[in-house]
């Protein structure tokens, strides 16, 4: 049997989440999110983020949340500034463009982060009204390569955006991993204070599915339900999302799972280094990236599920990714490490 480190959505839901779902199943609930579970889950999130006036909207998946939020927030001639390595710029089959908006790409480094000084030249160039108007900056925390924004970095971005008429939106598919990372110094309240909207990913941290979009900026809140419905993001049995997010946040389960996943990844990362493996980035979250010679890939294939990430700079090498999740055990990490070759 092989060790599973392919991604953080290979298992269903944490048993507490599943059990809450089962319990709610035969109650008879109002549809479309107009139920007490969604209400309570939204309140928990608002409390946690210390933003009582935020609109909390539950959607089903990450790609969907990204394009629905962006389509809701922008006018047709407005564009999104994002890292070239961002999920919206790659693995979403052009969903943002399908809603009509251009992504203005920033060449990010391996860390996947962007900074004000990379945005400034875009703004300068796009004063020309023959180009799209930059209006929203999208970042991910954790980034697609597992890195996290520090409070200083997010504050700088936030201040720059506010000074320049830009909205700041955070893809939080792996927000749990970010928030519980040893490299993190942000609180959920900081996040709400510094951004216009962000989402809290359930899919990649112990829910069957579900993302909680927190729209902090009140100008962006009106009519959100209509566009959510239009874009297929309203679940008929909407309470299924509320039930899960209530289970995730009422006792800190969400952060507990994320912290565990991070710890397992850290153990794996340390073990790989000890075995002489070269890391692509030093990740403080639940994704571990290593640069391996292609010749040993069959040996890795034989013992675990993982993913090819991108070609490495060194010819004949590939960047590969291992991901841990709430379900990853210490014995899985240690078993994998002992099964992998020294390099």
CA distance 162 to 104: 18
- What phi, psi does 141 have (nearest 5°)? -140, 110
| Window 243-282: contact mask with a second copy (x via CB under 8 A) | ----------------------------------------
Q: Three-class SS of residue 223?
A: coil
Looking up tokens 């291992």 gives: 322
Q: Which pair of structure tokens corresponds to residue 302? A: 């034989």
Does residue number 67 form part of the binding site for a second copy (CB under 8 A)?
yes
- By CB under 8 A, name the one of 191, 208, 220, 248 that touches a second copy: 208
Does residue number 43 form part of the binding site for a second copy (CB under 8 A)?
no
Q: Site size for a second copy, by CB under 8 A?
A: 73
Residues 121-160 that bind a second copy (CB under 8 A): 128-133
The region of 58-66, 141-149, 159-167, 295-303 touching a second copy under the rule CB under 8 A is: 58-66
Q: For residue 292, what is the enclosing H or E element?
A: strand 287-293
Does residue number 339 form part of the binding site for a second copy (CB under 8 A)?
no
CA distance 286 to 145: 10
Q: Which pair of structure tokens corresponds to residue 202? A: 């359930």
CB of 269 to a second copy, least distance (A): 21
- What phi, psi does 219 have (nearest 5°)? -65, -20
Alpha carbon of 126 to those of 93, 169, 215, 261: distances in Å?
25, 20, 27, 41
Does residue number 9 form part of the binding site for a second copy (CB under 8 A)?
yes
Residues 218-247 that bind a second copy (CB under 8 A): 223, 225-227, 229-237, 240
Does residue number 28 form part of the binding site for a second copy (CB under 8 A)?
yes
Does residue number 299 form part of the binding site for a second copy (CB under 8 A)?
no
Does residue number 7 form part of the binding site for a second copy (CB under 8 A)?
yes
């Amino acid at each position: 049997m092989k060790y599973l480190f392919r991604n953080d959505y290979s298992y269903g839901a944490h048993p507490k989440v599943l059990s809450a779902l089962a319990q709610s199943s035969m109650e008879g609930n109002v549809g479309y999110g107009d139920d007490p579970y969604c209400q309570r889950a939204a309140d928990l999130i608002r409390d946690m983020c210390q933003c009582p006036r935020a609109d909390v909207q539950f959607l089903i998946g990450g790609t969907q949340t990204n394009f629905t939020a962006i389509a809701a927030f922008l006018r047709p001639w407005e564009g999104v500034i994002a890292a070239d390595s961002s999920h919206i710029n790659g693995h979403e089959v052009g969903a943002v463009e399908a809603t009509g908006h251009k992504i203005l790409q920033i060449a990010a480094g391996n860390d996947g982060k962007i900074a004000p000084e990379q945005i400034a030249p875009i703004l300068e160039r796009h004063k020309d009204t023959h180009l799209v108007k930059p209006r929203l900056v999208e970042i991910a925390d954790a980034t697609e390569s597992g890195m996290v924004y520090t409070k200083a970095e997010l504050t700088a971005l936030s201040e720059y955006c506010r000074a320049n008429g830009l909205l700041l939106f955070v893809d939080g598919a792996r927000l749990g991993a970010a928030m519980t990372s040893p490299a993190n110094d942000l609180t959920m309240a900081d996040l709400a204070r510094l951004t216009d909207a962000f989402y809290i990913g359930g899919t990649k941290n112990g829910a069957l599915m579900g993302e909680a979009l927190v729209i902090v900026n009140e100008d962006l809140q009106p009519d959100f339900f209509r566009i959510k419905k239009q874009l297929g993001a309203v679940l008929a049995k909407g309470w299924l999302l509320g039930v899960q997010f209530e289970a995730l946040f009422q006792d800190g389960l969400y952060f507990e799972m994320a912290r565990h996943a991070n710890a397992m990844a850290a153990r794996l990362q340390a073990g790989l280094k000890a075995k002489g493996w070269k890391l692509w980035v030093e990740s403080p979250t639940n994704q571990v990236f290593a640069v391996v010679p292609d010749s040993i890939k069959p040996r890795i294939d034989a013992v675990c599920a993982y993913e090819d990430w991108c070609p490495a700079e060194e010819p004949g090498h590939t960047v590969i990714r291992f991901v841990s999740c709430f379900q990853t055990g210490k014995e899985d990490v240690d078993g994998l490490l002992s099964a992998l070759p020294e390099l």
